[in-house]
Structure 1
């Protein structure tokens, strides 16, 4: 009889342990609360948030942008400028990152080695209609390596084609700042508001 009671006691203990509280030690449940009273039957105003997402803003592409290169400084064989883009469309657009940039002349592509600079780095910009953004440019005019010392170090470009960040179709802009030495090496920053 004692063995039966001990066996029954062990079974009851096992059942209580197995069927005990199944909530994990650190689990908590928070029910949503509302500080806004429910609308009354006479309330006819529209809800503040209908759940519809605002339309995504279009990226600035070559159809929305006009570009130009403005010289800013020169000295000791170095040249500095800004590649300035203007939103010429009637709607805001976004711009974030670096532009592609290729020098050209009537014969085609002119050697261009674009190097990205981290200052300033990429930042999301919204350009309102007429808004501007700039990217800093730096290049040299002193021949290096096997470039000729007499005459231009590289073919003289007459224009640049630039591809806005995350786009594939370039925009064209005049280049009137002479040849770019060191094999066409140009340092470029990301766009920033200007």
Structure 2
């Protein structure tokens, strides 16, 4: 009886190890198990690239064009860190008065260019396109500034909660503070 239990135990063991990827090989009245050779990797692990955030990004807004009441600019960000970081998506943006109080801002995302993952090397740059109007809309006054004039802006990088502080010297933004913004792209 003991031999039968032992023999059944060896068969079960052999089947279990075979099912787990090991080969069972009987040898002269006993059962030996050899495992598969270990796998080794000669390539180093890929470095982990962190997300670009307000702690490593420096930002600025630069005007690019104007005409017929339309204003265009770019929000540039530069990786000021010592390591690469990734950036993907749209920035948040809030216009601010000199005392940091909010000035009406309605940020609207545009699809072109859309979000694409970017890796910014140290000192690498990315840009987002901006468009706004200085022509009063709706009930906005035509004999004075259409909205309070901003002096600063707070821009929040994609997937971050902390803002970068920027200068805004581009006058009031009409249409209730409507600014169109694209996703970031390589600059």
TM-score w.r.t. length of structure 1: 0.73
Select which of 48, 54, 57 maps to 1:65.
57
Per-residue CA deviation, residues 146-190 of structure 1 (Å, 9 max, x unaligned), is: 111111110000011011001111111000111000000000000
Select which of 59, 74, 77 maps to 2:69.
77
1:48 offset after TM fit, Å? Answer: 1.1
The alignment covers a number of residue pairs equal to 148
> Max radius of gyration: which structure?
1
Residues 1:98 and 2:90 are matched in the alignment? yes
Q: What are the ranges of 5 or more consecutive residues in structure 1 without an aligned counterpart?
A: 1-37, 39-45
Name the counterpart of 1:189: 182
Name the counterpart of 2:149: 156
Structure with more strand by fraction = 2
Select which of 42, 51, 67 maps to 1:48.
42
Per-residue CA deviation, residues 116-165 of structure 1 (Å, 9 max, x unaligned), is: 00000000000011110000000000001111111111000001101100
Q: Tell me the distance in 1 between the aligned counterparts of 2:155 and 2:85.
A: 17
Per-residue CA deviation, residues 49-97 of structure 1 (Å, 9 max, x unaligned), is: 36xx434211110010110000000000100000000011111100000
Q: Tell me the distance in 2 between the aligned counterparts of 1:63 and 1:167.
A: 10
Aligned-pair Cα RMSD in Å = 1.5
Name the counterpart of 1:170: 163
Q: Tell me the distance in 1 between the aligned counterparts of 2:70 and 2:41.
A: 60
The residue matched to 2:51 in structure 1 has which SS?
A: coil
Per-residue CA deviation, residues 93-127 of structure 1 (Å, 9 max, x unaligned), is: 00000000000012400000000000000000000
TM-score w.r.t. length of structure 2: 0.76
1:47 offset after TM fit, Å? Answer: 4.7
Q: Tell me the distance in 1 between the aligned counterparts of 2:162 and 2:41.
A: 42
Q: Tell me the distance in 2 between the aligned counterparts of 1:47 and 1:139.
A: 53
The residue matched to 2:43 in structure 1 has which SS?
A: coil
The residue matched to 1:109 in structure 2 has which SS?
A: coil
Q: Tell me the distance in 1 between the aligned counterparts of 2:155 and 2:43.
A: 41
